Structure 1
Amino acid sequence: MADHSLTKKSPSVSTTAMRRILPVDMVERGHGPFDPPPGLRGEGAVRPLGLLNGARAWLVTGFEEARTVLADARFSADKVRHREATSLQPHEVAEMEAASAKREDGIFVLMDPPEHTRLRGLLTGQFTVRRMRELESRVTEIAVEHIEAMKAAGTEADLVPAFALPLPSLVICELLGVDYADRAEFQERTAVGMNANSAPEEQASARAGLYAFMRRLVAGKRSNPADDLLSGLVHDADSALTDAQLVDVALVLLNAGHETTANMLGLGTFALLEHPDQLAALRADPGLIDNTVEELLRFLSIIQLGVSRVATEPVTLGGVDIPAGATVVIATPEVNRDPRYWPDPDALDLRRSRTPHLAFGHGVHQCLGQQLARVEMRIGLGELISRLPDLRLAVPAEQVPLRNEMLIFGVHSLPVTWS
């Protein structure tokens, strides 16, 4: 899941900034919608990367090298104390000095231990086995409800707004404890704020409204706690989190658990429909669904580029010397296609032996909600395939609009039909 917050304070790189500093062939997919951008491919598992803002970074495309970066404490995730090349304007390139500001926010995905350890530990305590089991039953109810609504409305639908987006949105509502009466506002603001087709002023307004919504939600949990994750954090005697930190945490969970899963559901369905032999194998053997989820996560790797880290001291990685202060960017789509690790890595093979991939990261920052994401994909795709046995694209594949301009890759819409 993506490490991006919706708060104004987030130092994570914006979509516009990412496109401004990277060559087009490193952002836009090449000849096929499911393959990594062609610019990610090249010689060496670690290589220098010249950015269009004049800065220099290092690109990691090797699986083992990427795991090293994500697990080695010498590579920092703290983008407040360590300026990174991907977040700089051209005139700032010469000013890449570490800041010493005290972290008072709750954006734990952009923190190092011990600050990250404390916040992560508080959240881990809320992802209980009981809560995950209850959410699993709700995922099934939500998936079935939306598929049956699609069928009742006719024989065609855009799968993104009809299914892929609302499923994780409603699950996040369950997780955070959003009241049923408030879910329409929550979903509307979330949809507009994350929709690339929305005007910039509409996105800004929606995100500001979402931040205000979260502040009201946190305040409500302080006065009227319920059995949900946010209430648990608010009233955890050991947390002592401020309202601002709680809002940050909630928005990180929203962004990481909503947009990523929604795009995996949309793009994953597209990939299965475009690989009819693999879809037929899954229909013939529904027991392949767990393997299907893992292979789609590896094969699609929807984070356009991947997470970045800052070297806090000189490090030799894959035989390449990385200087202190350097930004290291992990090319997740290419890392998950490393031919040294997977045979025939560019093929979608639902029967491939299950091996670890980096779709959810690695090390202390490995995605906290990865099991929930797997549940949403397993149930969502499983119900979709079983309840719509002749599901197919309603337009030629080349007419499906891709999210090339977004940090999280996927499809803007997926017109489908059935008999």
Structure 2
Amino acid sequence: MTDPAKDPRFLRNPYPTYDAMRSSCPVQRVHSGSGGHPSYLVTGYAEAREALGNASLSKDTAVFFAGKKSRRRLHPAVARTMLASDPPRHTRLRKLVTKAFTTGAVARLRPFITRVADDLLDQWPTDEPFDAVAGLAVPLPVIVICELLGVPPADRPDVQGWSADLFAAGEPGIIDTASHAIADYMTDLVADKREAPGRSFLDALISARDGDDHLSEEELVSLAVLLLVAGHETTANALGNALLALLRNPAELDHLRGSPDEIPAALDELLRFDSAVSTSTFRFTTEAVTLGCTDIPAGAPVLVALGAANRDPTRFPAPDQLDLNRNATAHLAFGHGIHRCVGAPLAKAELEIALRAVLARFPGIRLAVPTEQLEWRRTRLVRGLVSLPILAQQRP
């Protein structure tokens, strides 16, 4: 398998490649893994779900890379996030983070999310093509997570730029530089908040750091970076992908336009259809493991292609068809097991509010360019559009 980030055809539509791999064997050895190490790519749904919940697959990258020479210079706060840890450390950190994404916490954020979405849509022109990624999909979750963490408005463009650079596939220098920029920024922000405490969730984490939970300084900064990056990157991609899926399926678009209260139920199918996370973050086997038809030795990296698993016809019949009547609650777009996306409730709230607002205000919305002209982000980890040119007409 060649590097997918270098193949425009794969970026535009990875699913035929995934289908071919899955039909041969749903778990295959590939040569495009982390750090140049041969890896095993999982494309089948059952195998993906098993891998995501298998305790023999570790996410502790520090253990895997210990003693291995590397030219990378990722900031430790980025290299050692909660995502790159196992229990009991992961359990302790996740317990702290979960407090920001409870049903009640997200419900309290909904009025703010609605105001932000409305403010952004107020700026959409109705007489010329407009980029819905730059005009909604990116700024909405950026503003929301920055507000949650107490990042000042003036700093948010820099934060978004560094975050985007962290996903620059094939550009290790750019990634490493961005990791230091964003970690240094969050270190300074933590220091500022200690001097002048506020009511943000970052302030709550700082209190935990200085209180009974005893977060180390690195853990505190690492959690802040993870929340900042994960809190908007995947949601931005999911919203762009969902808008495109609906624009390419006018019958489903018309249905939601006429029945907006069905949008929450439709989100699972939209998330399944074109998953914002293409491949889950790094795992490796701590002992020999058999997944599907493949025996994987100990110490081997395992990459789970969530987008491929969500198009597995053995789990989702006619998977290449967007069917908003489908029960897609078992999708893996948010992962599975102890590492399932902790921010999923917030992401779904943002998606619902944004889609409701767009369909209500712009019933004549349509693509402004042919789909083959759309450009996709050059990254292995996430799947998202560089831009989504639309005509936001108020009438069909």
State the TM-score, normalizing by the size of structure 1. Answer: 0.82
Partners in 2 of 1:222 and 1:128 — Cα distance?
25
- Note the C-alpha offset of 1:204: 6.8
> Given the superposition, is the C-alpha separation of residues 154 and 338 from structure 1 closer, same or farther in structure 2, using an over 3 Å criterion?
same
Partners in 2 of 1:320 and 1:70 — Cα distance?
16
> Given the superposition, is the C-alpha separation of residues 36 and 305 from structure 1 closer, same or farther in structure 2, using an over 3 Å criterion?
farther
For 1:325, the aligned partner's letter is G
- Note the C-alpha offset of 1:120: 1.0
Structure 1 counterpart of 2:313: 339
Structure 2 counterpart of 1:48: 29
Structure 1 counterpart of 2:58: 76
Partners in 2 of 1:351 and 1:88 — Cα distance?
51
Structure 1 counterpart of 2:42: 60
Structure 2 counterpart of 1:174: 147
For 1:389, the aligned partner's letter is P
- Over the matched positions of the two proteins, sequence identity in percent amounts to 38
> Given the superposition, is the C-alpha separation of residues 206 and 319 from structure 1 closer, same or farther in structure 2, using an over 3 Å criterion?
closer
Report if aligned partners of 2:366, 2:391 keep a CA contact under 8 Å in 1.
Answer: yes
> RMSD of aligned C-alpha atoms?
3.1
State the TM-score, normalizing by the size of structure 2. Answer: 0.86
Give the total of aligned pairs.
Answer: 381
Structure 2 counterpart of 1:165: 138
Deviates more, 1:370-379 or 1:395-404: 395-404
**Stretches of structure 1 lacking an aligned partner (at least 5 in a row):** 1-21, 93-101
Structure 2 counterpart of 1:38: 17
Structure 2 counterpart of 1:142: 116
For 1:82, the aligned partner's letter is F
> Given the superposition, is the C-alpha separation of residues 416 and 217 from structure 1 closer, same or farther in structure 2, using an over 3 Å criterion?
same
For 2:17, the aligned partner's letter is P
Structure 2 counterpart of 1:242: 216
The yes-or-no answer on 1:233 pairing with 2:214 is no
The yes-or-no answer on 1:222 pairing with 2:203 is no
Structure with the higher fraction of residues in helix conformation: 2
> Given the superposition, is the C-alpha separation of residues 406 and 62 from structure 1 closer, same or farther in structure 2, using an over 3 Å criterion?
closer
Task: Map Cα deviations across residues 70-107 of structure 1 (whole Å, 9 max, x no partner).
Answer: 112111011110249xx997x99xxxxxxxxx999851
**Stretches of structure 2 lacking an aligned partner (at least 5 in a row):** none
Deviates more, 1:268-277 or 1:312-321: 312-321
Structure 2 counterpart of 1:415: 389
- Note the C-alpha offset of 1:418: 2.9
Partners in 2 of 1:192 and 1:26 — Cα distance?
19
- Note the C-alpha offset of 1:213: 2.5
Report if aligned partners of 1:193, 1:203 keep a CA contact under 8 Å in 2.
Answer: no
> Given the superposition, is the C-alpha separation of residues 253 and 332 from structure 1 closer, same or farther in structure 2, using an over 3 Å criterion?
same
Report if aligned partners of 1:401, 1:412 keep a CA contact under 8 Å in 2.
Answer: yes
For 2:155, the aligned partner's letter is E
Structure 2 counterpart of 1:96: none
Report if aligned partners of 1:49, 1:59 keep a CA contact under 8 Å in 2.
Answer: yes
For 2:363, the aligned partner's letter is P
- Note the C-alpha offset of 1:325: 1.1
Deviates more, 1:44-53 or 1:259-268: 44-53
Partners in 2 of 1:347 and 1:374 — Cα distance?
21
Partners in 1 of 2:352 and 2:95 — Cα distance?
27
- Note the C-alpha offset of 1:338: 1.1
Partners in 1 of 2:392 and 2:78 — Cα distance?
51
- Note the C-alpha offset of 1:375: 0.5
